[in-house]
Amino acid sequence: MKRQVLLLGAGKIGSLITCILAESGDYDVHVGSLNTDAAKQLCQETGLCDVKAFLLDARDESALAAAMQQHKYDAVISGLPYYCNPLVADLAARYDLNYFDLTEDVEVTRHVQKVSAGRQTIFMPQCGLAPGFISIAANELMQHFDELEVVKMRVGALPVNPSNVLKYSLTWSTDGLINEYGNTCYGIEEGELAALQPLEGYETITLDGVLYEAFNTSGGLGTLAESYDGKIRHMNYKTMRYPGHCDQIKLLMNDLRLNDDRDTLKRILENAIPKTQQDVVLIYVAVAGRIKGELMEENYVKKVYPQDIAGKRWSSIQVTTAAGICSAMDIVLDDRDRFHGFVTQERIALDDVINNRFGKYYA
């Protein structure tokens, strides 16, 4: 019997989630969106028939509640902006639905964790790339050590051919991007949980002969710091960009104080910075610690490029994010005896993701 999924949002990531799940033949996808034309056009372009699109404003509590009760759903997936997710999680708890989202927002995740207390249904936020897959990859390496010293997690979603002063293209949610650049970051410093400033902690990394910069951004660490509190000296997450990007963002957000006027900053970015499907996702994890008393380091490095799925070309950030949430949902729904309540990314093994039919896009 096919699983029934309520997907909220048909944007950049929601569209690919729809394709991945429907193409498998094992999921009926019900897409609630303000843009039903886009969802219907997607079905026409791909020939997918296991998709049902309907008009829904997910900010309307009564409308969202009614949508959740329309069918006996196996799960609800939120592809909405982070600030919509608390309501979705609250209603998922009310109607005993398994819940998955892509949020990078720390406070939203804490709200989901609170809502999940004592529940037998699954509440799994942060299921994308970062947070999401990066925590799974880092956790896998960490299991190889007897004692942990330092964990560095770095992710970049970048245009292959940058052509503007920011050396960047808008490859995903602008709201999420600003949120990561402007909110408090968290990590472990000298063995203790620590709050870190965004856009600080500057460093450079060279991969395959290309120089990148990296700096603190919010949310990418997921729940990994809490899971390893007291077990490691240093752990942090940073975003990778081409050199010069960080200084330009500091000018906008700090010097021009647009972190306090994010609506204006969003309009500026979306008016000036082009989108692209010619992108690359960089995933870099470095773990140092002791194995049999000897100080060692292990790395996980991956580059993901655009791929063809369901007869359409998708950007690498779409692929990695959608594959993250689809594989996570598929894995935990297949093992309900093990998973219930609040589920962190690090509870899933890297091999389980790579070998999953949806996680194969990371292989």
Pairing label, strands 341-342, 122-124: parallel
β-bridge partners, 99: 76, 123
* Topology at the third CATH level for domain 133-306: Dihydrodipicolinate Reductase; domain 2 (3.30.360)
Nearest of 6, 2, 71 to residue 33 by alpha carbon: 6
Query: CA-to-CA distance for 151 and 173, rounded, in angstroms?
Result: 27
pLDDT of residue 170: 87
| Percentage with pLDDT > 90 across the chain | 83
Q: Which of 309, 350, 358, 349 is nearest to 330 (CA)?
A: 358
**pLDDT of 49 higher than 70:** no
Residue 37 confidence (pLDDT) = 75
| Residue whose C-alpha is closest to residue 187's, from 151, 146, 134 | 151
Q: What is the pLDDT of residues 318-339, one digit of tens each?
A: 999 999 999 999 999 999 889 9
Per-residue pLDDT of 272-297, as tens digits, reads 998 888 999 999 999 999 999 999 99
- The reported pLDDT for the residue numbered 310 is 87
Q: CA-CA-CA-CA torsion for 82, 87, 92, 95, nearest 10 degrees?
A: -170
Rounded Cα–Cα distance for residues 159 and 156 (Å): 10
Domain covering 3-125: architecture: 3-Layer(aba) Sandwich (3.40)
Percentage of the chain beyond pLDDT 70 is 98
260, with CB counted inside 10 A (0-12, 13-18, 19+), is exposed
How much is the average pLDDT of 75-89?
95
Domain boundaries, the chain: 3-125, 133-306
Q: How confident is the model at residue 46 (pLDDT cuts 50, 70, 90)?
A: low
3-125 and 133-306 agree in CATH topology: no
Alpha carbons 233 and 147: distance in angstroms, whole number: 10
What pLDDT, on the 0 to 100 scale, is given for residue 43?
66
Query: Which 3 state secondary structure label does DSSP give 330?
Result: helix
Q: Which stretch of 10-24, 108-122, 199-213 has the lowest confidence by average pLDDT?
A: 10-24
The arithmetic mean of pLDDT across residues 194-222, rounded, is 95
pTM for this predicted structure: 0.93
pLDDT band at 52 (very low <50, low <70, confident <90, very high): confident
Whether 35 shows a pLDDT value over 90: the answer reads no
> Is 80 exceeded by the pLDDT of residue 55?
yes
As a whole number, the mean pLDDT across the chain is 93
